[in-house]
Amino acid sequence: MVYDVVVSGKLHRLELEKTEAAWKCRLDGREVHVDAVVPRRDVLSLLVDGHAYEIKREQTATDLHMWVGSTRFAVEIRDPRSLQARKGGGQDDKGPRKIVAPMPGRIVRLLVGEQAEVEAGQGIVVVEAMKMQNEIKSPKKGTVKKILAAAGAAVNAGDVLAIVE
């Protein structure tokens, strides 16, 4: 099996094969001696050329991270077939941008109305969670095209609250 693995923005080619006796592993063309045990879900005991690592996997809806000890690496395993599709999805300042709730909570109040002109970093809506009120800010300068949040409503992480164009 060949994997294209992007770690902290840098692409690595990983060739990995598990035979009955041992692992065969080449990283960026170099042979590496690997042994691995998964003692429980999301935890990996990894031996690489005799060095021992405890790796923890952290997954969210959008991200995959590997914790090597207490250092966190952003990781993406790319399927060459969907590479092009993913590249097209980048975010820039042109076009509409969605403002999403970063955590579950309750809408306390709206700070602007539809059609309001806003600056980048200007507060759009206040969400309360865990006794803390948090201002969710506009990612860009533009016009508030749509407000999808209502004061008092409960929201989940990732819910779209407003659209700025």
Footprint (CB under 8 A) of another protein, residues 134-163: 134, 157-158, 160
Beta carbon of residue 27, minimum distance to another protein (angstroms, whole number)? 6
Footprint (CB under 8 A) of another protein, residues 1-40: 1, 3, 5, 7-8, 10, 12, 14, 16, 18, 23, 25, 27-28, 32, 34, 36, 38
Amino acid at 89: G
Q: Mark residues 53-92: x for contact with another protein by CB under 8 A, - for none.
A: x-xxxxx-xx-x-xxxxxxxx-xxxxx-xx------x---
Please choose, from the candidates 72, 108, 95, the residue with its C-alpha nearest in 3D space to the C-alpha of residue 163: 95
Evaluate whether 148 touches 156 at the Cβ level (below 8 Å): no
User: Binding to another protein by residue 52, rule CB under 8 A?
Assistant: no
Please choose, from the candidates 34, 144, 62, 50, the residue with its C-alpha nearest in 3D space to the C-alpha of residue 26: 34
Question: What distance in Å separates the CA atoms of residue 2 and residue 147, rounded to the nearest whole number?
Answer: 45
Q: Is the CB of 117 or the CB of 128 nearer to another protein? A: 128
Evaluate whether 150 touches 107 at the Cβ level (below 8 Å): yes
Question: What distance in Å separates the CA atoms of residue 31 and residue 25, rounded to the nearest whole number?
Answer: 6
Beta carbon of residue 13, minimum distance to another protein (angstroms, whole number)? 9
Question: What distance in Å separates the CA atoms of residue 61 and residue 102, rounded to the nearest whole number?
Answer: 12
Q: How many residues does the chain have?
A: 165
- Residues found near another protein in the complex (CB under 8 A): 1, 3, 5, 7-8, 10, 12, 14, 16, 18, 23, 25, 27-28, 32, 34, 36, 38, 41-44, 46, 48, 53, 55-59, 61-62, 64, 66-73, 75-79, 81-82, 89, 98, 102-106, 129-132, 134, 157-158, 160
